[in-house]
């Protein structure tokens, strides 16, 4: 049978997909009424059916029920299960104990962070049994537990102390290296300063030598002129003195009005002047 034939049979009220409306049922607008030759839609929807086998109604397809998952048995919680009673959540910031349990992907496991504050993970701690009285001595298990916690805390403190000692050693090595570098730089600076002072002293000495030589050069350049000035001054003074001596020597001759004596004096005047000035002795 083709799909078209199956569709026509499904739409035929006389087919298998339809049923008779029972007497007393409320008619629906989709119900079909048979007049003996054909089926038509009923116009009595909402009223009760009064004739058996006259009205046909499409059989509604019942939806197949979805498969329900099989109920899983609830896990049996034991006193050693951190999810069960007898355990409590560790609040964020609480110091973790060695017996605390942490939630991991594969289940619960003992924490490896004892002695540190609890973080974002979920931690569970066994609820401690209350002692009947404060005066009752602690049990050996409690003492062992506290001793183990103290040992863990002590080991963590020792590890941190070792880290701090290593850090202090590194800082000391750095400081020593810096001190050596500063000492070497200071020594080099001292040497440079000493060399600078030596150069400055030598430069000052050279400048003083140059100044002294310049003075001597200026003085040497001025000596010939000074000698010439002194010679000219002495010459002028000697000439004036010689003239004065000649005039003093000629005064008596001028007083004697004797032409012959005057001519003789003029004839011998150069010799007289050399004698008076001392040039005749040279």
- Say if residues 276 and 245 touch (Cβ distance below 8 Å): yes
Say what percent of the chain tops pLDDT 90.
5
Each residue of 103-146: pLDDT tens digit? 888 888 888 888 889 888 889 998 877 655 554 555 788 888 88
pLDDT reading at 62 higher than 70: no
Number of H helices, E strands in the chain: 4, 8
pLDDT reading at 228 higher than 80: no
Name the CA radius of gyration of the chain, rounded.
73
Cα(271)–Cα(282) distance, rounded to whole angstroms?
13
Each residue of 150-160: pLDDT tens digit? 888 888 888 88
Tell me the pLDDT band of 211, cut-offs 50, 70 and 90.
confident
At 231 the three-state DSSP class reads: helix
């Amino acid at each position: 049978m083709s799909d078209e034939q199956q569709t026509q049979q499904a739409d035929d009220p006389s087919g298998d997909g339809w049923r008779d409306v029972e007497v007393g049922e409320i008619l629906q607008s989709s119900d079909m009424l048979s007049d003996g030759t054909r089926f038509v839609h009923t116009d009595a929807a909402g009223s009760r059916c009064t004739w058996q086998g006259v009205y046909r109604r499409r059989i509604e397809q019942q939806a197949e029920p979805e498969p329900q998952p099989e109920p899983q048995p609830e896990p049996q919680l034991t006193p050693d299960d951190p999810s069960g009673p007898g355990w409590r959540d560790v609040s964020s910031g609480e110091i973790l104990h060695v017996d605390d349990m942490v939630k991991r992907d594969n289940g619960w496991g003992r924490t490896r962070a004892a002695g540190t504050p609890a973080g974002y993970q979920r931690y569970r701690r066994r609820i401690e049994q209350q002692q009947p009285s404060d005066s009752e001595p602690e049990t050996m298990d409690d003492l062992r537990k506290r001793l183990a916690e103290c040992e863990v805390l002590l080991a963590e403190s020792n590890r941190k102390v070792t880290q701090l000692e290593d850090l202090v050693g590194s800082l000391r090595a750095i400081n020593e290296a810096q001190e050596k570098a500063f000492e070497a730089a200071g020594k080099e600076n001292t040497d440079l300063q000493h060399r600078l002072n030596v150069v400055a002293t030598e430069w000052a000495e050279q400048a003083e030598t140059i100044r002294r030589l310049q003075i001597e050069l200026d003085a040497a350049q001025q000596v010939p002129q000074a000698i010439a000035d002194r010679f000219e001054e002495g010459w002028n003074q000697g000439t004036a003195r010689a003239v004065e001596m000649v005039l003093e020597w000629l005064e008596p001759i001028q007083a004697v009005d004797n032409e012959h004596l005057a001519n003789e004096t003029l004839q011998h005047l150069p010799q007289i002047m050399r004698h008076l000035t001392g040039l005749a002795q040279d």
